[in-house]
Amino acid sequence: MKIGILGVGATGARAARQLVDAPEVTSVVLAGGRRDRIKSLTASLPDHGLAAADPLDAGVDGLILAGPSGTHGAVVRRALEAGVPVVSTSDAPEEIEAMLSLSSEATERQVSVAVGAAFAPGMSCLLAAHGAQGFDELDEIHVARVGAGGPACARQHHDALSGTAIDWRDGGWQERRSGSGRELVWFPDPMGARDCYRASLADPFVLVDAFPGVQRVTARLAANRRDRMTARFPMLRRPPAEGGPGAIRVELRGRVDGRTAVAVFGAIDRPAVASGAVAALAIRRLVRGESRRDGVGGLAAMFEPGPFLAELSERGVKAAVFEGSHGAPDLAESVQGR
């Protein structure tokens, strides 16, 4: 299996390292980005790494797009013409919406394209799909995330707080102001509670596509006062090569046996590490023909969530479930804990 990676930033490099560990992957073709970075990454992948100007010309079996958002749509069109399955890690809402609109063409050509294959959207979609199996009827999905991967992800994060947030409500899209709707969200430990706000995020597009009957889908991004205040200005500081630990939280609301039920899932990891692992697993599955359908879709629509999450867990990207109790906390236990 020969896999191409276009974009060798924090996420692309992590995806390459994940791919060389897979027995069926014989070579990884790297392109896009600084030449010195491609050279050093190629050298660090003995017997696997190859550099190329254009992975599609190099005859790859599958392609991961890990470059900055806004560059993926044109490559997806070329890959569809070449019949090559693609995984896109873009989290730009307009770009994901545009790529989803190519679904009928991809279905016609019998090619699969997985979009939003990162931490959120990406792993968040798999958690939503996994959790949805426990509901008779799923009404609401609420996603929140904290942290950014590489510099391109940090810029997207910055821009997301100044754009227009899109929520899905009762069968229609609703535009809301980014930076509004503060909500205190509890992420898995040790991330803990963070204030999260509406932002221009892509999660609702891929989730509504995967769960057509859902009534509400929202996405929020953790931010502090400085993030919100500077969101409408250019980034004042160069973003770091890679951000610190991040987390995602997915809350599902629906009905089980006629009663309202809530389920909460989450994960904590470095966003670039998790995104690289998700993208690498997704492209291997697409090339092996293990997608649920042809066409363009998010991970919830394209893959069985259980086995995917289990393989992610084996690779160190672990999911968690929040188990709440409805009674008062056990006083004896809390006293013992002091």
Partner 1 sequence: MTLLRRALVALGVASFIAAVLRLRGTGGSPPQGGGWRELSGPELDG
Task: Specify the residue for token string 């509504």.
Answer: 208
Residues 97-156 that bind partner 1 (CB under 8 A): 130, 133
What x-and-dash track marks residues 150-189 binding partner 1 by CB under 8 A? --------------------------------------xx
Residue 44 C-beta: closest distance to partner 1, Å: 31
What is the SS3 assignment for 133?
coil
Query: Structure tokens of 23?
Result: 């027995």
Q: Which of 79, 265, 278, 294 binds partner 1 (CB under 8 A)?
A: 265
C-alpha to C-alpha distance for 92 and 6, rounded to whole angstroms: 17
Does position 310 interact with partner 1 (CB under 8 A)? The reply is yes
Q: Which stretch binds partner 1 (CB under 8 A): 5-13, 101-109, 177-185, 325-333?
A: 325-333
Q: Between residues 165 and 282, which has the closer beta carbon with respect to partner 1?
A: 282
| φ, ψ at 212 (rounded to 5°) | -60, -25
Does position 245 interact with partner 1 (CB under 8 A)? The reply is no
Does position 322 interact with partner 1 (CB under 8 A)? The reply is yes
| φ, ψ at 43 (rounded to 5°) | -65, -25
Q: Which of 259, 335, 337, 338 binds partner 1 (CB under 8 A)?
A: 259
Q: Are 31 and 89 in contact (CB under 8 A)?
A: no
**Please, which residues have CB within 8 angstroms of residue 301's CB and are 6 or more apart in sequence?**
206, 209, 210, 292, 293
Total residues interacting with partner 1, rule: CB under 8 A: 29
Q: What sections of 246-314 are H helices per DSSP?
A: 271-287, 299-302, 305-314
Task: Specify the residue for token string 């600084």.
Answer: 34
Q: Which of 324, 332, 337, 338 binds partner 1 (CB under 8 A)?
A: 324
Does position 321 interact with partner 1 (CB under 8 A)? The reply is yes
Residue 323 C-beta: closest distance to partner 1, Å: 5
Q: What single-letter amino acid sits at 295? A: G
Does position 328 interact with partner 1 (CB under 8 A)? The reply is yes
Residue 268 C-beta: closest distance to partner 1, Å: 9
Q: Between residues 141 and 312, which has the closer beta carbon with respect to partner 1?
A: 312
Q: Are 192 and 185 in contact (CB under 8 A)?
A: no
Q: Are 224 and 196 in contact (CB under 8 A)?
A: no
